[in-house]
């Protein structure tokens, strides 16, 4: 990368930037459950896709969209397919060729770097600002070096996919073939043959434990994950070297908002975290229990004014698969194993396909 020559380009010189075309209808009149045309909104997730519609697309794909109400290019996304626009979404149509997802990803990354911390609520990243934004791109002989961009991204992708492949192999997740028992359990679930029953959490796993407060200023850098409330990084706010209570792996945490998470590693926790002691359960059964807890505790009844504590965990009732009025943990294991294989199958097939494609791109260039 040090030997790469860089040039500066204005987005307005690279793209025609205009508001997207949109239907002046309410969202429910546009979005359909069986729709196939993406509706691109101001969302900062899911590539900006709010939902899908059966209405005709009114904007061409192989282009870029970006909300003009944000603080930078964080809502800038590549749109592969034709789509339906939305109010305050700008459409960036390239003036140059070639243009594809790989080249778009480089331009989007460069735009996000260029606009970071430059805009605020009083100074939005609107169409005028987009046109004036300058980004750095690799060049050769004074022209954008598209071939370098495509090869560089292909190599990065190949590296990440190889890491995914290694992880799948190490964790034995490459095997996505359902056993006869797993298929039977899935069939029974589809037919509604499962029996669910409510159980009290304390009666199942004894009293829950509460973590202890450790102020940020008192934390010593180390290797032990320290769990606090929140969804970012699964609630891990720091890695510490302090002497604290260390909780066992294969346990469950519930934060102050009632959000439950499975922990397959040793960790510390602050006083806004309750620990449910599922150490003696098989891993996949613990994951099932985590989902059951989350469904019961994370239903909007806990917030900043009413925190979830360990005493709330002890009073919590959860719905589990049962047989003869007893939790059937073996059935839970089999069910989660089957679901895991259904999910991982697409990941494995995607990884295999991308590895093959990446090798072709890398070695052909």
What's residue 363's pLDDT?
47
- Secondary structure of residue 121 in the 3-state scheme: coil
C-alpha 261: how far from chain center: 15
**The length of the chain, given as a count of residues:** 365
- What Rg value do the Cα atoms of the chain yield, rounded? 25
Reported as a single tens digit per residue, the pLDDT across 297-343 is: 998 888 888 999 999 999 999 999 999 999 999 999 999 999 988 88
What's residue 355's pLDDT?
63
Among 344, 331, 253, smallest CA distance to 290 is for 253
Between residues 156 and 137, which one has the greater pLDDT?
137
Peptide bond into 126 cis (omega under 30): no
CA distance 288 to 27: 35
Residue 362 has pLDDT above 50, yes or no: no
Reported as a single tens digit per residue, the pLDDT across 116-128 is: 888 877 788 999 9
Residue 2 has pLDDT above 80, yes or no: no
What's residue 365's pLDDT?
47
Q: How confident is the model at residue 173 (pLDDT cuts 50, 70, 90)?
A: confident
Kindly report the pTM of this predicted structure.
0.58
Q: Give CB contacts under 8 A, 24+ apart, made by 97-105.
A: 98/146, 99/62, 100/62, 100/150, 102/149, 102/150, 102/153, 102/154, 103/146, 103/149, 103/150, 104/64, 104/78, 105/78, 105/153
- Mention every residue, 6+ apart, whose C-beta is less than 8 A from residue 127: 17, 18, 19, 68, 90
Among 245, 248, 252, smallest CA distance to 269 is for 245
Give me the residue label for tokens 């939902």. Answer: 51
Reported as a single tens digit per residue, the pLDDT across 75-102 is: 999 999 999 999 999 999 999 999 999 9
Average pLDDT, the chain: 90
Task: Compute how many other C-beta atoms are within 10 angstroms of the C-beta atom of residue 364.
Answer: 8
CA distance 204 to 145: 62
- Decide: residue 98, CB within 10 A, 0-12 exposed, 13-18 middle, 19+ buried: exposed
β strands within the chain, DSSP E = 5-10, 15-19, 37-40, 49-53, 63-67, 77-79, 89-94, 134-140, 143-144, 196-200, 209-210, 221-227, 236-240, 251-254, 260-263, 268-269, 274-276, 317-323, 326-327
Between residues 171 and 72, which one has the greater pLDDT?
72
Reported as a single tens digit per residue, the pLDDT across 279-298 is: 999 999 999 999 999 999 99
């Amino acid at each position: 990368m040090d030997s790469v020559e860089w040039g500066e380009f204005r987005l307005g010189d690279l793209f025609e930037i205009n508001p997207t075309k949109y239907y002046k209808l309410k969202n429910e009149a546009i979005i359909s459950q069986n729709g196939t045309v993406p509706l691109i909104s101001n969302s900062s997730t899911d590539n900006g896709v709010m939902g899908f519609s059966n209405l005709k697309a009114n904007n061409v794909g192989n282009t870029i969209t970006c909300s003009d109400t944000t603080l930078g290019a964080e809502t800038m996304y590549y749109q592969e397919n034709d789509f339906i626009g939305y109010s305050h979404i700008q459409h960036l149509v390239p003036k140059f060729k070639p243009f594809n997802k790989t080249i778009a990803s480089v331009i989007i990354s460069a735009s996000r770097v260029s606009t970071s911390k430059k805009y605020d609520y009083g100074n939005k990243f609107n169409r005028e600002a987009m046109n004036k934004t300058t980004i750095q791109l690799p060049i050769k002989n004074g022209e954008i070096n598209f071939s370098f961009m495509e090869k560089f991204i292909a190599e990065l992708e190949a590296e990440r996919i190889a890491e995914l492949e290694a992880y799948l192999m190490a964790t034995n997740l490459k095997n996505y073939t359902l056993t006869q028992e797993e298929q039977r359990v899935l069939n029974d679930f589809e037919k509604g043959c499962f029996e669910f029953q409510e159980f009290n959490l304390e009666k199942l796993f004894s009293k829950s434990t509460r973590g202890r407060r450790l102020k940020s200023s008192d934390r010593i850098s180390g290797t032990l994950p320290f769990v606090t409330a929140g969804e970012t990084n699964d609630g891990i706010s720091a890695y510490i070297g302090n002497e604290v209570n260390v909780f066992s792996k294969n346990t469950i945490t519930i934060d102050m908002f009632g959000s439950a998470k499975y922990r397959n590693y040793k960790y510390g926790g602050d006083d806004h975290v309750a620990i449910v002691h599922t150490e003696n359960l098989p891993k996949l059964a613990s994951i099932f229990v985590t989902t059951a807890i989350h469904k019961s505790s994370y239903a909007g009844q806990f917030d900043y004014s009413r925190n979830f504590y360990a005493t709330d965990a002890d009073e919590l009732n959860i719905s589990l698969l049962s047989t003869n009025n007893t939790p059937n943990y073996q059935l839970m294991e089999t069910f989660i194993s089957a679901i895991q294989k259904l999910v991982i199958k697409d990941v494995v097939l995607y990884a295999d396909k991308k590895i093959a494609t990446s090798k072709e791109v890398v070695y052909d260039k």
